[in-house]
Structure 1
Amino acid sequence: MNVVFLLWHSHEIGDRVTDDKLIGVYSSEAEAGAAKARKLKYEGFRDEPDGFLIDKYELDRDYWSEGYITKTASRQ
């Protein structure tokens, strides 16, 4: 089984609105953790240290198997 580890960062920027960033794709969880440690040195990331998430994904596998609904932001 071939896997990769995605490092994400997310934080809330408004009423139920988040700013989500894919930081990178890594060959191991340890590499993703090292990338997280590097990012914690930067303003923004260090202010939101709980916003990091490491996800494990198998290669050559569908992760979204159905249709989709598009959400649009309402403007006032």
Structure 2
Amino acid sequence: MNTVFVVQHVHLLLPQEEEDVKLIGVYRSLHSAQAAARRMASAPGFRDHPDIVDSSHAGVGAGEGFHISEYRLDEDNWTSGYVTQVN
């Protein structure tokens, strides 16, 4: 096993349209990750945005729902650093 599948749920907090992201779990296979999203889809809060999101469709609000991402083990995934804006 060289990869894992991470399931997160995203919804927007209004009025700022800030993303609220919840880690659902980490799974050995895409099938297991999809099954986890289906199990959670009827739970309170999650049922408001129960779909598995196709990451190729961008836009405000289009990303609400379950996101499944594949990650290679023992590999850096965020390498560019970051900047925090303070208002």
> Normalising by the residue count of structure 1, what TM-score does the alignment of the two structures yield?
0.85
Offset from partner CA, 1:12-67 (integer Å, 9 cap, x none): 01222111011000000000011011101211111111311100000000111122
Counterpart of 1:43 in structure 2 is: 44
Structure 1 unmatched ranges of 5 or more: none
SS at match of 1:49: coil
Deviates more, 1:61-70 or 1:23-32: 61-70
Superposition RMSD on alpha carbons, in Å? 1.4
The ranges of structure 1 where at least 4 consecutive aligned residues each deviate by more than 2 angstroms after the TM superposition are none
Structure 2 unmatched ranges of 5 or more: 52-64
Counterpart of 1:66 in structure 2 is: 80
Larger Rg: 1
Percent sequence identity over aligned pairs: 48
- Matched length: 73
> Higher strand share goes to which structure?
1
